[in-house]
Amino acid sequence: MNRDYVSSSNVVSIGYDDTTETLEVEFLSGAVYQYYNVPRALYDELMRQGSKGRFLHTYIKNAYPYSRV
């Protein structure tokens, strides 16, 4: 999955696959996680946010199934 680099204190890059509704996040630690069944609108809102980490923690982290890649 292609990811776009973002300006964040703990997130390096973020990608999204429309077909599978999978959000992929690379953290500063080097860990990469995929979050499943994330609506496109939520991804779009994430990309508009100034604080990507805060948005991920508040709206995605405990709300969607995920796995470490």
| Mean pLDDT within 56-69 | 96
| Per-residue confidence band for 37, with pLDDT thresholds at 50, 70 and 90 | very high
| Per-residue confidence band for 50, with pLDDT thresholds at 50, 70 and 90 | very high
Residue 43: its pLDDT value, please? 98
Question: pLDDT (tens digit, 9 = 90+) per residue, 21-35?
Answer: 999 999 999 999 999
Nearest to 55 by CA among 20, 22, 6: 6
Using alpha carbons, list the distances in angstroms from residue 65 to 5, 9, 11, 60. 23, 24, 19, 9
Q: What is the pTM of this model?
A: 0.95
